[in-house]
Amino acid sequence: MPREYNHQVIESVSVRRQRLRDAMLFGAERARHSLDEGVGKLFASVALAAVICAGCVGWSFIDRELAKEKQQQNQPTQTTSPTTSPTTTPTTNHSTKPTKTPTSR
């Protein structure tokens, strides 16, 4: 029985504090407005979602970089120099511009 009484006292003190806080924040119109405690949960949820998204982006970046590194390690390295083709003389274009002939009217 004493436990119920203690619980009741704690609950009544909590309600009184909430009413005093609402009266201080909103004045006479406290019945129309109340401090929505869900707003804090909303902001916390948005912040948590942003952290999770940033973690996913970071994980993706690290995974991609490790895959690039692994791919570069698996590629065979060229130890010999590439063979050069015989040099050829460049051909020049000797085409002439077509000349316009004047037309009479």
Distance of CA 74 to the CA centre of its chain: 32
Model pLDDT, residue 36: 66
Is there a contact between 11 and 18 (Cβ–Cβ < 8 Å)? no
Is there a contact between 55 and 61 (Cβ–Cβ < 8 Å)? no
Residue 100 tokens read as 């316009």
Residue 103 tokens read as 């037309």
DSSP run (H or E) holding 58: helix 38-74
Is there a contact between 8 and 20 (Cβ–Cβ < 8 Å)? no
CA distances from 57 to 51, 54, 69, 71 (A): 10, 5, 18, 21
What tens digit of pLDDT does each residue of 21-69 get?
A: 878 877 776 655 555 667 778 889 999 999 999 999 999 999 999 999 9
pTM score, two decimals?
A: 0.41
What tens digit of pLDDT does each residue of 4-17 get?
A: 888 999 999 999 99
Is there a contact between 33 and 21 (Cβ–Cβ < 8 Å)? no
Model pLDDT, residue 41: 82
